[in-house]
A and B are shown apart, each in its own frame.
Chain A
Amino acid sequence: MDQPVVQIRDLRTYFYTYEGVVKAIEGVDLDIMSHEILGLVGETGCGKSVTALSIMRLIYYPPGKIVSGKILLHGEDLVVKSEREMSKIRGEKMAMIFQDPMSSLNPVKKIGEMMTEVIRLHLGVSRKEAQRRAVASLAETEMPDPSYVLKQYPHELSGGMRQRVMIATAISLKPELLIADEPTTALDVTIQAQILRLLKKLKENLKVAILIITHNLGVVAQLCDRVAVMYAGEIVEVGTVEDIFERPAHPYTLGLIRAIPRMDEKGDRLVGIEGNIPNLIDPPTGCRFHPRCGFFHAKCRMEKPNFRNLNQSHWVACHQR
């Protein structure tokens, strides 16, 4: 049976700003299994990036702070670890790639410099050995002519190549978890497909767990094994890809799936979800989705729903469904 790589229990991350305290994540529970691709979906601002950053402990005060909760990496709580200990864990056990590959690469460093520095820092090997591993990593990401790429600067590469470099650097230390924050959003559609295929291949070959953050359900459908749906700082539904797409349970998920324009149906209007995302400084009481929910009942306003098991893999947090 699959073991969880990372287990998040009741995570709360707040941001302390001039305007007030933004409760970006309010009680998130999530398990990421080894050897799976888990998709974390939601609208912009729902807290999915913050969740990823929290796992990596990249939330710094000011203004952000992990207020309570546990993030267990093979049983060890990351929340209480020191920055020094986290430096060892980042890259080696977990790695993260970000949305815009151009801005994520240091413009004054050659690719080779960057990659070998990371490898040597963690593994302590010689420069030659580090270069060898870097080239191997790049080859793994289907990069043409990897040894030449090492000598280039980021601005000399195309968008797709830069993203491959990011991925290669991230996997060069063979981490157990790879977090990808909107890895394809900044890329052309054709390159998007390539990168997604690559991620899938990597999961197979390297046996790495991937947490992919996205707002694009198409990406989810193509790539993911399981899906977690987030809304306003909370997870509202978790299940396999089939569960979510064929039997969406939570009203929000329902709205999302319905909103996808379909090629095979004829229709005149695009269907959206009524209302706006809530203000996280002063969020709605009870279930945070209740102001926009078609299944609203008085109870929804008063009590926060717990997770209910719909079937073996499918969980939903809703009073009504």
Chain B
Amino acid sequence: MEKIVYLFRRLFYALFVLLGVITIVFLISHLVPGDPTLALVGPSAPRDIIEGMRTKFGLDRPLLAQYLYYLKNLVLEQDLGFSIQNQRPVAEDIWRYFPATFELVTVAMFFAVLIAIPLGVLSAVKKDRWEDHLSRLIALSGISMPVFWLGLLLQLLFAYYLGWTPLHGRVLLDVVARHPVTPVTGFMTLDALLKGNWIVFFDSIKHFILPGITLSYPSIALIARMTRSSMLEVMNLDYIRAAIALGIPRWRVIFKHALPNAIIPTLTIIGMAYSYLLGGTVLVETIFDWPGLGLYAVNGIFALDYPAIVGVTLIFGFFRVIINLLVDFCYFFLDPRITLESGV
């Protein structure tokens, strides 16, 4: 019973933060100099649509009224404005481009966790030896390296010179044309897998490699560092020594006694890493021509498609809040010490 109350409290808090995010985004979009309709519709939209927006969002009313209109339109109708890039409501565009980004981000997250945690453990166990220094250097370079530069270099090396991976794009268009994918979930790779469409599936996988690695690199750094410091802290604790004193071999103590404890604070970092990943999509999708939300936003910048940019920011903020919520839930299940009192 306690657990359920805890979950509800976290849920309410998340909703509250979500409201805050919406508010912040709203305020930012009102920084647009000049006509506020620009934030919702862009300057070169058809006349009638502009006027329609003006009334619908109450743009001739005071700020607070506008805010309420904005909220109402957002929640009830999912209306985020009109995108001039594709002459469609922003919400539709987002719906369309979302799967590609989601797949990319998920893959990148997998890479990151799979590589970073062992790296962090290695670093901690071999503290101050060359393995540690090397790992730390790799990790450090992850948060120092400009993601876009890394992507370009990888493209140059692996796609252009070595020809091992495709240069860009999510999947070769003619491949998809010849082997069409029936949408089941909307996620192309998953759909291809489910329907046994191996050709598209493998092609898709090939396209994931470079953007996935590029995107995940800073997160690898972040997670590895946290894992390292967390492990170091845990390994100094008494119960580790007590476990060794009972004759449990060292490697087993590291992986089965220390790591489960060390992972817990790392979870928060994984949540933060999601932020990096989401932000990074803007750069990675641009370089690799990946048809996702990031590319949509960047294109929006040049087209002065403000509602698109604002919409993407909102969606990403939304996802971040959800991820945080999930992390909280995970904490709850992983650490038996978390009870009602220690929540929030």
A83 to B251 Cα, complex, angstroms? 11
What residues on A are CB-neighbors of B260 within 8 Å? 108
Contact of B249 (CB < 8 Å), options: A84, A92, A109, A170: A84
Does B245 contact A89, Cβ atoms closer than 8 Å? Answer: no
Q: Mark A219-242, 1 if CB is under 8 A from B, else 0.
A: 000000000000000000000000
A176 to B335 Cα, complex, angstroms? 36
Which of A88, A107, A118 has the most chain B CB atoms inside 10 A of its CB? A107
Smallest distance from the beta carbon of A14 to chain B beta carbons, Å?
Answer: 19
What residues on A are CB-neighbors of B247 within 8 Å? 87-92, 118, 121-122, 173
A150 to B246 Cα, complex, angstroms? 18
Which of B237, B243, B260, B335 has the most chain A CB atoms inside 10 A of its CB? B243
Q: Is A31 engaged at the interface, CB distance under 8 Å to the other chain?
A: no
In the complex, number of A-B residue pairs with CB atoms less than 8 Å apart: 73
A108 to B334 Cα, complex, angstroms? 8
Contact A169/B238 with A108-B335, A155-B337 known, Cβ cut-off 8 Å = no
Chain B residue, CB-CB nearest to A121: B248
Of the candidate stretches A73-81, A96-104, A206-214, the one touching chain B is: A96-104
Q: Which of A39-74 contact B (CB under 8 A)?
A: 56, 58
A213 to B40 Cα, complex, angstroms? 75
A40 to B256 Cα, complex, angstroms? 34
Q: Is A279 engaged at the interface, CB distance under 8 Å to the other chain?
A: no
Q: Is A117 engaged at the interface, CB distance under 8 Å to the other chain?
A: yes
A95 to B256 Cα, complex, angstroms? 20
Does B242 contact A104, Cβ atoms closer than 8 Å? Answer: yes
Q: Is A153 engaged at the interface, CB distance under 8 Å to the other chain?
A: yes
Which of B237, B246, B252, B336 has the most chain A CB atoms inside 10 A of its CB? B246
What residues on A are CB-neighbors of B248 within 8 Å? 87, 91, 117-118, 121
Q: Is B16 engaged at the interface, CB distance under 8 Å to the other chain?
A: no
Chain B residue, CB-CB nearest to A87: B249
What residues on B are CB-neighbors of A84 within 8 Å? 249
What residues on A are CB-neighbors of B10 within 8 Å? none
Q: Is B257 engaged at the interface, CB distance under 8 Å to the other chain?
A: yes
Q: Is A158 engaged at the interface, CB distance under 8 Å to the other chain?
A: no
Does B246 contact A91, Cβ atoms closer than 8 Å? Answer: yes
How many residues on the A side are at the interface (Cβ–Cβ under 8 A)? 32
Does B245 contact A108, Cβ atoms closer than 8 Å? Answer: no
Q: Is B126 engaged at the interface, CB distance under 8 Å to the other chain?
A: no
Q: Is B244 engaged at the interface, CB distance under 8 Å to the other chain?
A: yes
Does A95 contact B245, Cβ atoms closer than 8 Å? Answer: yes
What residues on B are CB-neighbors of A6 within 8 Å? none
What residues on B are CB-neighbors of A317 within 8 Å? none
Q: Is B72 engaged at the interface, CB distance under 8 Å to the other chain?
A: no
Q: B: which residues have CB within 8 A of A?
A: 237-239, 241-250, 252, 256-257, 260-261, 334-337
Q: What are 27 A-B interface contacts by the 8 Å CB criterion?
A: A56-B245, A58-B245, A84-B249, A87-B247, A87-B248, A87-B249, A87-B250, A89-B247, A90-B245, A103-B237, A104-B242, A106-B243, A106-B257, A107-B261, A107-B335, A107-B336, A108-B260, A108-B335, A108-B336, A117-B256, A118-B246, A121-B247, A121-B248, A121-B252, A155-B337, A170-B246, A173-B247
In addition to A84-B249, A107-B261, A155-B337, 16 A-B residue pairs with Cβ atoms within 8 Å of each other are: A58-B241, A83-B250, A87-B249, A90-B246, A91-B247, A98-B241, A103-B238, A105-B239, A105-B242, A106-B239, A106-B257, A108-B261, A108-B336, A109-B257, A121-B247, A121-B248
